[in-house]
């Protein structure tokens, strides 16, 4: 391993047609930001960062800054540096730099796995848990589609696609200012179970407290698996009132990427589930969260948030395979996305369970061949109202 020195670190920005232009914040395409790390013998691996969808330009600039700290190191040394620099909480408590570290750590662990002829879960097990964890191959997932802008017809199409893929649990996004009861009726009558996401940190219109109260009074009568992102982070002090009044299971956290934030969601706010995105929260922080759960005997708390490319989703599956005690479900975006569609159609899923197949991880060739133009980055980045 000492001879495997990091030679080069590149950013790669790719795009694909997404959601038929019907998703809030996106136009016809969706941007994905990747890091590609090379070592001495021309081995390389990719990692992905969630924030690249919001500003690929900032991703590229800040990746160059962090890359200088780990170039000419071996992957193990680079991992330690990624952990050490986060001691500087002025820069790395949360935010874009931490999300970039998340992408770097995914790539570094994939590199170590290649060099040592291991798979990703085995590498995590070896580095952080002294090979004490047991791996499973079947992971509980749910289908994620249902744009907040979707019509009832669109929802029916999403359910049909989920069923074709072998998924009977679906999450959709709801605009509480719209006629949402029809959508809920469709879900109730055509899925085994379902969850609702209010995406209140993206969709400001869902911060209307009068409409929110009306929606919560209605949805309390339904048997939903969980309600996600019920409040904007600026309104989280109201969560205690909501939780007491409206007896539902709540999840939160996709905007956060610090272990401290997630521990607050667990300990202080006492959310039923935390939505953690491994392309946004570094693996080094994720490991600390897992160790906290082990110590405090907290089980089935994590719902992996995945809204990027296959690196994001497959890494989450691999982590769930060895942290099954702590992971409730993994999000599988089933929205039409040209970067993911081929993988999705070739996956083995039955009754909302995804079967991991050894040696099925061949992302490098796909991403190498994808030479999306870096023009129009601003045009296709996520945009808020």
pLDDT tens-digit series, residues 56-80: 999 999 999 999 999 999 999 999 9
Together in a domain, 188 and 61? no
The pLDDT of residue 368 is 84
What's the CA gap between 243 and 234, in Å, rounded?
17
The pLDDT of residue 137 is 94
Tell whether 13 is covered by a domain. Answer: yes
Tell whether 132 is covered by a domain. Answer: no
The pLDDT of residue 365 is 78
The residue ranges of the chain whose pLDDT is under 70 are 1-2, 358-362, 372-379, 385
The pLDDT of residue 66 is 97
What's the CA gap between 97 and 102, in Å, rounded?
9
Together in a domain, 286 and 208? yes
Together in a domain, 167 and 301? yes
Which residue range forms the structural domain that includes residue 147? 138-361
Together in a domain, 143 and 105? no
The pLDDT of residue 358 is 66
Helix, strand or coil for residue 278?
Answer: coil
Burial call 37-70: b when 16+ CB within 10 Å, e when fewer: bbbeeebbbbbbbbbbbbbbeebbebbeebbeeb
Tell whether 104 is covered by a domain. Answer: yes
Do residues 246 and 217 touch, judged by C-beta distance below 8 A? yes
Together in a domain, 171 and 41? no
Together in a domain, 323 and 292? yes
CATH number at residue 49: 3.30.390.10
What's the CA gap between 173 and 149, in Å, rounded?
8
Tell whether 129 is covered by a domain. Answer: no
The pLDDT of residue 2 is 66
Tell whether 41 is covered by a domain. Answer: yes
Together in a domain, 331 and 276? yes
Tell whether 133 is covered by a domain. Answer: no
What's the CA gap between 253 and 259, in Å, rounded?
11
Together in a domain, 88 and 224? no
Name the DSSP letter for residue 45. Answer: E
The pLDDT of residue 375 is 62
The pLDDT of residue 383 is 74
Together in a domain, 210 and 303? yes
The pLDDT of residue 120 is 95
Q: What is the pTM of this model?
A: 0.95
The pLDDT of residue 1 is 64
3-state SS of 190-253 is: HCCEEEEECCCCCCHHHHCHHHHHHHHHHHCCCCCCCEECCCCHHHHHHHHHHHHHCCCCEEEC
Tell whether 226 is covered by a domain. Answer: yes
Beta strands in the chain (DSSP E): 6-17, 29-39, 44-49, 138-144, 169-173, 193-197, 227-228, 250-252, 273-276, 302-304, 327-333, 349-350, 353-355
Tell whether 44 is covered by a domain. Answer: yes
The pLDDT of residue 359 is 53
CATH number at residue 302: 3.20.20.120
The pLDDT of residue 360 is 53
Q: For 1-56, what is each residue's pLDDT tens digit? A: 668 999 999 999 998 898 887 788 788 889 999 999 999 888 999 999 999 888 89
Number of domains in the chain: 2
Together in a domain, 225 and 77? no
What's the CA gap between 8 and 44, in Å, rounded?
9
Together in a domain, 267 and 348? yes
Do residues 13 and 60 touch, judged by C-beta distance below 8 A? yes
Together in a domain, 208 and 312? yes
């Amino acid at each position: 391993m000492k001879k495997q020195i990091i030679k080069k670190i590149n950013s790669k920005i790719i795009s694909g047609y997404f959601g038929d232009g019907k998703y809030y914040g996106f136009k016809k395409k969706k941007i994905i930001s990747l890091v590609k790390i090379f070592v001495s013998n021309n081995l390389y691996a990719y990692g992905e960062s969630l924030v690249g969808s919001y500003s690929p330009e900032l991703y590229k600039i800040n990746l160059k800054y962090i890359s200088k700290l780990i170039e000419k190191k071996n992957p193990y040394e680079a991992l330690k540096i990624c952990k050490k620099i986060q001691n500087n909480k002025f820069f790395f408590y949360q935010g874009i730099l931490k999300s970039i570290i998340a992408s770097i750590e995914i790539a570094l662990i994939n590199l170590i796995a290649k060099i040592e002829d291991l798979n990703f879960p085995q590498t995590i097990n070896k580095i952080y848990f002294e090979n004490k964890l047991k791996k499973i191959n079947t992971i509980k997932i749910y289908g994620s589609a249902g744009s907040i802008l979707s019509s009832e017809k669109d929802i029916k199409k999403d359910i049909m696609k989920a069923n074709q893929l072998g998924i009977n649990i679906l999450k959709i996004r709801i605009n509480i200012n719209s006629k949402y009861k029809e959508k809920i009726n469709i879900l109730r009558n055509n899925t085994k179970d379902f969850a609702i996401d209010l995406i209140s940190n993206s969709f400001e219109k869902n911060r209307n407290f009068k409409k929110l109260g009306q929606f919560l009074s209605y949805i309390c009568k339904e048997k939903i698996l969980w309600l996600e992102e019920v409040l904007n982070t600026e309104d989280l002090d109201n969560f205690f009132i909501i939780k007491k009044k409206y007896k539902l299971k709540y999840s939160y956290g996709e905007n956060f990427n610090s272990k401290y934030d997630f521990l607050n969601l667990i300990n202080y706010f006492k959310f039923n589930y935390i939505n953690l995105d491994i392309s946004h929260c570094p693996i080094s922080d994720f490991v600390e969260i897992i160790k906290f759960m082990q110590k405090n005997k907290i089980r089935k708390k994590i719902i992996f948030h995945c809204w990027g490319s296959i690196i994001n989703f497959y890494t989450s599956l691999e982590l769930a395979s060895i942290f099954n005690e702590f992971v409730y479900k993994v999000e599988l975006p089933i929205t039409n996305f040209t970067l993911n569609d081929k993988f999705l159609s070739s996956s083995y899923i039955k009754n909302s369970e995804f079967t991991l197949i050894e040696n099925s991880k061949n992302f490098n060739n796909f991403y190498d061949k994808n030479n999306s133009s870096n023009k129009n980055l601003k045009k296709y980045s996520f945009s808020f109202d």
